[in-house]
Amino acid sequence: MAASRLAGAAHGADLAQEANVDTAWPAPLTDLLRRAAEAGHGPLSVSALTEMLRKGA
């Protein structure tokens, strides 16, 4: 889950806002990606998110 995924999630949220689409749905995913990167899971795949969810991190 490289930093590019986090940047991509943020970009998706920006696009949703520009398109006047509800931006509440990507916020939890963006937060989870950010926390995973901060926890050192940055170079891992998105499957590392399951560890973040499992641990309640």
pTM metric for this prediction: 0.61
Closest CA to 48 of 7, 1, 4, 3: 1
The encoded tokens of residue 41 equal 């899971």
Percent of the chain whose predicted confidence (pLDDT) is above 70: 82
> Would you state the pLDDT for residue 6?
64
> Would you state the pLDDT for residue 10?
73
> Would you state the pLDDT for residue 57?
53
User: What would the pLDDT profile of 9-27 be if each residue is shown by its tens digit?
Assistant: 777 778 888 888 887 877 8
Q: Average pLDDT for residues 33-52, to the nearest whole number? A: 78
Q: 3-class DSSP state for residue 25? A: coil
